[in-house]
Structure 1
Amino acid sequence: MSLPKTLAEDVARNLVMVARLIDEDPEQAYAYARIALRLASRVAAVREAAGFAAYATQKYAEALAEFRAARRMTGSVELWPVMADCERGLGRPERAMAMAGEPEVQKLDKAGQVEMRLVAAGARRDMGQIDAAIVTLQSPELASNSVQPWTPRLRYAYADALLEAGREDEAREWFGKAMEADKDGATDASDRLAELDGVEFVDALSDDGADDVAGLAGLTGEAAESRETARDDDREDGEDGPVDGSVTGQ
């Protein structure tokens, strides 16, 4: 609203593209953010968007500068957790830990406080303090049966920390809890749980084509080996058609 109408529309279009692309194509989102920043660097929303675009492309120093600028303009503390995470990205976990103890944290809403807890636990892990990271994540929000937007990530982070500490049984339990809460697939908890249970994922598109997968799906052990031996014999006799690794008819 502080910009002339035509300029405001141009800036808004670029910010919309940042929002649309930041997850799928962060580099392109960053390019749009730079355009918006060039057009309206004195608008807090633009500085914030530029910060998130830089953060998504791991330009942590630039992201931190933009977040600080946005905070100066608005006086809001909501960017505090991501600012602390930028410090981690810059290899300064001790600064992230210091920020976790600042009064600004108490001004955050519940989601912000959980995010700050996740960042603090990550900083502990960066410093090799895995047990302290586990304790940091233990909270009423973790213990609650209520599923909130932050629940899958909080449970996932706890499970991952437990696994790093060698507490595999507990990690399996919490990956399961994370999966139950993760209706939108925000984490790969289901894959991590499957790995712990010994499930192996194979590439369905083998060199012999998709028909091999279908044909071998029900065969194990000696039966599969016998079929493969037969196919090798057929190839030697020239009866198996082209063997060039291509897959047709898909």
Structure 2
Amino acid sequence: MPIPEDVTGDEIDKDVRQELQSLPKTLAEDVAKNLVMVARLIDEDPEGAYGYSKVALRLASRVAAVREAAGFAAYATQKYSEALAEFRAARRMTGTVELWPVMADCERGLGRPEKALDMAGAPEVHKLDKAGQVEMRLVAAGARRDMGQLDAAIVTLQSPELASNSVQPWTARLRYAYADALLAAGREREAREWFAKAVEADRDGSTDASDRLAELDGVEFVDALAEDASDEPGEPGEAAGSTDASPEDGDKH
């Protein structure tokens, strides 16, 4: 796959660069460039990121960072079985538990929420840092919801991290998940309160909490382009270039 000229491979994390030192110099450079492309595309073009991850994997499958990147690229494209296999391989190579929450979420993606809950109660969770433990709590709550246990999901999310007024990297997502669970359980007033709290903490727009809050408040967003098109004679109410594409389910995983 083509690599843009502005990608040198030096953009990768220094720890990953150190891992690649076990490879011949030219090979290490090629792998690094492909890993940069994975990181660059994974949010906006997951399929493209997946393609570059497969190239890196073909070049250096014995490097843990490559297996991890391949796992995240597969995860982003909802190839959960493949992602889980890559994460397991990376974990065997490194011996760390950092990937435990996302491995559990892969189990959810594979339709095995009970397995995800088993992992949430495993000793490995105690070895996670605070961010990892919060992530594990989010996965466990999601698994409860998968099983139709809304009240249990709400209780799972109730924690010192949720109650804290301190804003951490995970705060917005935790508050959002709690608000969403409350709303699913029919507790709309409380849900509105927590969506508002999520908005306060969401400094980088990582959630759509503001849209959810506006929806609860009855605010309607009008598409100006669609409105203009509806005024044209011949096809009232139909905007040019509209599609029937369904949005991805961004709340589950």
1:109 to 120, 125, 129: 129
1:59 equivalenced with 2:73 (yes/no): no
1:48 equivalenced with 2:73 (yes/no): no
1:201 to 213, 221, 241: 221
C-alpha deviation, 1:244, in angstroms:
6.3
C-alpha deviation, 1:207, in angstroms:
5.6
1:34-183 aligned at under 5 Å gives the runs: 34-183=54-203
Q: Which amino acid aligns with 2:150?
A: I
Structure-2 separation of matches of 1:150 and 1:21: 22
- Structure 1 segments, 4+ long, off by >6 Å, are 244-247
Q: Which amino acid aligns with 1:88?
A: R
C-alpha deviation, 1:59, in angstroms:
0.1
Structure-1 separation of matches of 2:48 and 2:89: 22
The answer as to whether partners of 1:94 and 1:123 remain within 8 angstroms in 2 is yes
More helix as a share of residues: 1
Which residue of structure 2 aligns with residue 33 of structure 1?
53
- CA RMSD in angstroms comes to 1.5
- Aligned-pair identity (%): 85
Change (3 A) 1:105 1:165: same
C-alpha deviation, 1:209, in angstroms:
4.8
Which residue of structure 2 aligns with residue 24 of structure 1?
44
Q: Which amino acid aligns with 1:17?
A: M
Structure-1 separation of matches of 2:80 and 2:132: 19
Which residue of structure 2 aligns with residue 227 of structure 1?
none
The answer as to whether partners of 1:208 and 1:243 remain within 8 angstroms in 2 is no
1:7 to 27, 37, 40: 27
Structure-2 separation of matches of 1:50 and 1:208: 44
The answer as to whether partners of 1:118 and 1:154 remain within 8 angstroms in 2 is yes
The answer as to whether partners of 1:152 and 1:181 remain within 8 angstroms in 2 is yes
How many residues in Structure 1 have an aligned counterpart in Structure 2? 217
Q: Which amino acid aligns with 1:8?
A: A
Structure-1 separation of matches of 2:219 and 2:53: 42
Q: Which amino acid aligns with 2:40?
A: R
TM-score (norm 1): 0.84
Q: Which amino acid aligns with 1:117?
A: R
Unpaired runs of 5+ residues, structure 1, are 213-241
